[in-house]
Structure 1
């Protein structure tokens, strides 16, 4: 599990300039120009209404209350009501319009994130905790949702209202406007001061919440092991540490943003005091009317109200931009390289597998395989054995091209897998893992998963035939709803053996030319293994098979056994030949069965 510091460090290395992230986020608005134009018109109407109201109030005081036109007060009030009603309707319309645009952008982002995750190479997921990826696609997107649905509307409305108020203040009285504007330099310095600190604080909150989610996902999945090894209290302490780091980051972020609004309040009060003092003097000297001063005081209050609202939106904006950085990090990841135009398809072929001097490394200068060469004839079963970390699973992963070799070539029926389309290679290969993964859905949907994208989906008869071959039909029919029984997450309602039989049925229905079994029977009991071995015999018939096995008793009948040691093929032969040779395989066999291997065994 990566620490908070390592995740934060990686994020800082990848995080771009905040301004670039904002520009990129704003570019998402491009396809919605028409809707935004309407929202812009509504925003301008709302800003005009807000700027026009105080002017009408000042005119009512000077002309209708203190002046010589008291009868016009009713008309002025009706006009004021119309102005404020238009402003309210415009504000409601722009909130609805911008909110709809925001939701469309978020839907597009979610679709693009999911699409990118589906096309990323497996090496990406090798480097990232699943919980951190989930946090980026849920928590960070949700933070962006709050900003786009609410914050953008408030921010745009505030900016245009501020512009309208500034114009009205300059129009009413230049002297009072300049007195009020003396506060602007202090306001800009205050905003800049808090902006720098809030940016760092909110980036840390997004990083730490990702670490909390990653830790939570791991600990929930591993709760059985935690209880078995008395690690519950240690795990609780570790989670509390992560949670405390996230709490501290959020407290620091709130402390920064909560101090911003009071600072703006102080500046607002100071501006009002200056306007009252200077404006009162002008009224006393006869250079200003009472109504004009009243209107101007309303404008001063309105001048700072958008700034106060912007300070609240600023909190959302900083969190959203921090989340957007993490989202764009996923979208900027290099996907699994696309097949070049014109790459030929690998049709249905016989399953000959050839490794020609293959070398491979997950990381530069740390080779996992070195000079691996072997050939598997069509219909043969080859077993890979060796110590943990020797390179067995890596060899298996190179066949369907989950990774590309760094040297040499992997061929299927004479075709270099890099010179045909990935999709056609994987159509010829099926893999059954040690921990079979079942999706939420019905048993029938899980069995037909490998052919879900076919032009002609499998029929129910084909699905049931595959289950019978895998010897899963019996227990399926005993379930309350048979093949339509809905499974929970990862098929948790089934036993390990039943889940494994369903994975065999899935492989049978896919009808691959090559079958890879990666420790497919290592997690089941001996009694269930007898059933599984029967299913395996049916599954392996007529197919080229690569079997990674820990239990050597399960591979005695393999056509050939390859002993992998330190990324190389150390021994090759049948079970009897390798026992007779007295080398690594014989040593593994003796250790596993705690007895001396006979010189030869048929």
Structure 2
């Protein structure tokens, strides 16, 4: 996947919609894709519907011959022939009325099953895809593709699917009926596409880009909305509500503008439709009049031809209006299918066995930059010794969290390699990396359900005693104050969305307990104990240290008290290592770390 410039990333989506061929291939691979029986039955139903429509229109036109005293093949002449013709027309109209809902039922049921399977496929692909690809898309974008885009495609089928198929097939059925009256009408059918094909194609070519731009703007707006809701406490604390609302308003108006950009394309289509149909009708009347005057056609045959053309009026404009909606639906479906194909980017190679013991983590000549930006990390090399705890310290923007994310597999390095236990992580599935490396940050997610269910996601076969032992190790023993206050029903306590919120430090302890149960060989903690101002700050720090023991650990230390207990301290600045050593060694060196520690110690005494 290429990395566009930052300006391009603001304008375009990082994952383009799938092509029509890819959409077809994906849909055919779904379990609920209709079989041959469904296609055969659907074809019969539509053929009956369209045949009855063109047949009734032709016979109504031929009734003029009966009124004029002429005979119509199959019906004879006079009142008896006219009566028989009307009976047949009525029967054809009844078939038309009955087959339309039958066709709709066949399409709706098949489409609904496909949407369920496609949503499942999209979610599975998101869970299996490389994490950097998912993060690049953004939460709002993934949600838009999983929900709105699939629903957009289904609603299009539900609202116009049957009419679109009928409209599309009505043209060839009508053209065949006109040709059966006289081959002279072929001149009209060949002339009009030659005149209007190019302008219509140019207009249609612009619709996919305009539609995808709209979907991208909507996804960006959703991301902004999610970001605002998640950052509500910070927004309130900083008093920047006006900034937040103006930012969201800007993105909302951008979505409105992208919608407005599509309007001229539809207006151009409608104008072309008026011109094309007007020319077709005028030409049909003129040719019919000429053919009657030349004795080539009877008045009834000419009337039948004109009726067939008149009945096309609705379908001409349906094509133009539906084309935009179908294009919108296809683009939305393409976006969803592209998400369903996201896991195709995963490394398809046999995964080695999991690391045993405490592996070494080695970073060699690592480089990383965000698209269009300056390097965050440039030619960085270091090694984390097996079973050691290393603390990263430095000012904000030094590259600490970026390095942690790269080792955890959340980002792809622009250059260099990262190896765990001698295995280059770029050559193995990221599921292998996820099993070896666990990252804990200040953002903790607890799944809705009981505490037992949440913990067993980390260890499905664990019994209650094992779960309680993991909780006890991180300071949540059954006799602890935290257990008594926040977990009144013990392992049966309902947690997560829809239930009473736990204290932030308790949520973090539950997260640490899951790490104990997963037992990864490498642990990275990035602001994992950020609740230092809480009453349980000390126990949370101790819990983190307990979990880190016996593993190769990396701690992104935003406070120096997190660093002093580490086996090794690395001071970073602008993506490079400035100082490296133990706490005592760095103090003795009298460098920048010593200055930082002196200022921190002074502030602690002041408190």
Common fold by TM > 0.5 = yes
Tell whether 2:391 aligns with 1:383. yes
| Structure 2 counterpart of 1:459 | 463
Under a length normalisation based on structure 1, what TM-score does the superposition of the two structures give? 0.83
Is the 1:590–1:596 Cα contact (8 Å) retained in structure 2?
no
Counterpart check, 1:410 vs 2:408? no
CA distance, structure 2, for counterparts of residue 319 and residue 385 of structure 1: 50
For residues 159 and 381 of structure 1, the distance between their equivalents in structure 2, rounded to whole angstroms, comes to 68
* 1:166 matches 2:181: no
Contact preservation (8 Å) 1:4, 1:208 = no
Query: Shift of the alpha carbon at 1:94?
Result: 2.6
Per the normalisation by structure 2, the TM-score is 0.82
Deviates more, 1:180-189 or 1:443-452: 180-189
Who is 1:548 aligned against?
556
Measured in 2, the distance between the counterparts of 1:193 and 1:569 equals 56
Partner of 1:250: 259
1:21 and 2:19 are equivalent in the alignment: yes
d(CA) in 2 for partners of 1:69, 1:480: 92
In the alignment, is residue 157 of structure 1 matched against residue 166 of structure 2? yes
Report the RMSD for the aligned CA atoms in angstroms: 3.9
Sort the Cα spacing of 1:388 and 1:448 in 2 relative to 1 into closer, same or farther, 3 A.
farther
Deviations 1:395-423 (A, max 9, x none): 444555555774465343x6666677754
Task: Indicate if the aligned counterparts of 2:23 and 2:334 stay in contact, CA closer than 8 A.
Answer: no
Kept in 2: contact 1:383–1:561 (CA 8 A):
yes
Write the mapping of 1:203-352 to structure 2, written as runs, cut at 5 A. 203-258=212-267, 260-261=269-270, 263-265=272-274, 267-269=276-278, 271-273=280-282, 275-276=284-285, 279=288, 288-327=297-336, 330=339, 337-338=346-347, 340-341=349-350, 343-347=351-355, 349-352=356-359
**Could you say which residue in structure 1 is the equivalent of 2:53?**
50
Contact 1:208-1:249 within 8 A present in 2 as well: yes
2:475 counterpart of 1:468: no
Q: Which runs of 5+ in 2 are unaligned?
A: 71-76
Query: For structure 1, which runs of at least 5 residues remain unmatched after alignment?
Result: 598-602
Q: Which residue of 2 aligns with 1:38?
A: 41
Closer, same or farther in 2 for the Cα pair 1:50/1:296, shift >3 Å? Answer: same
What residue number does 1:431 align with? 439
Distance 2:383 2:283 in 1: 88
Q: Say which SS state the counterpart of residue 138 (structure 1) adopts.
A: helix
The one of 76, 93, 101 equivalent to 2:85 is 76
**More divergent stretch after superposition (305-314 vs 119-128):** 119-128
Q: How does 1:493-508 map to 2 (within 5 A)?
A: 493-508=501-516
Cα distance change of structure 1 residues 564 and 490 upon mapping to structure 2, 3 Å threshold: farther
Query: Per-residue deviation at 1:53?
Result: 0.7
Partner of 1:533: 541
Residue 52 (structure 1) shift: 0.8
Pick closer, same or farther for the CA change 1:480–1:72 going to 2, 3 Å: farther
CA distance in 2, matches of 1:512, 1:579: 32
Displacement of 1:88 after TM fit? 3.0
- The equivalent position to 2:149 in structure 1, one of 140, 145, 151, is 140
Please state whether the residue corresponding to 1:562 is helix, strand or coil: strand
Relative to 1, partners in 2 of residues 1:15 and 1:449: Cα closer, same or farther, differing over 3 Å? Answer: closer
The Cα offsets for residues 373-395 of structure 1, whole Å up to 9 and x where unpaired, read as: 345343x4333322233343344
Residue 595 of structure 1 deviates from its aligned partner by 6.1
Q: What is aligned with 1:355?
A: 362
Change in 2 beyond 3 A, CA 1:543/1:593: same
The residue aligned with 2:130 is 121
Alpha-carbon shift at residue 592 of structure 1 (Å): 1.9
Go from structure 1 to structure 2 and tell me whether the alpha carbon gap of 1:402 and 1:174 turns closer, same or farther (over 3 Å shift). closer
The alignment covers a number of residue pairs equal to 584
CA distance in 1 between counterparts of 2:312 and 2:412 reads 61
TM superposition shift of 1:529: 0.3
- Seen in structure 2, the aligned counterparts of structure 1 residues 124 and 301 have a Cα distance that, compared at 3 Å, is same
Q: Aligned equivalents of 1:421 and 1:188: distance in 2?
A: 48
CA distance in 1, matches of 2:427, 2:298: 85
Which SS does the other structure have where 2:565 is aligned?
A: coil
Cα distance between partner residues in 2 of 1:429 and 1:152: 48
Q: Work out whether residues 470 and 501 of structure 1, in 8 Å CA contact, stay in contact via their aligned partners in 2.
A: yes
CA shift at 1:332, angstroms?
5.9
Q: Is the 8 A contact 1:283 1:290 kept in 2?
A: yes
Q: Which residue of 2 aligns with 1:600?
A: none
SS at match of 1:110: helix
Distance verdict in 2 for CA 1:5–1:539, change over 3 Å: closer
Tell me, yes or no, if the aligned pair for 2:132 and 2:412 is still in contact at 8 Å: no
- Post-superposition shift, 1:299? 0.6
Look up the match of 2:527: 519
Q: Which stretch shows the higher mean deviation, 359-368 or 384-393?
A: 359-368
- CA distance change for structure 1 residues 282 and 582 in 2, over 3 Å: closer, same or farther? closer
8 Å CA contact 1:260, 1:311 repeated in 2: yes
Q: Secondary structure at the match of 1:410?
A: strand
| Cα contact 2:384–2:390 (8 A) shared by 1 | no
Q: Deviation at 1:336? A: 5.7
Contact in 1 for aligned 2:473/2:543 (Cα 8 Å): yes
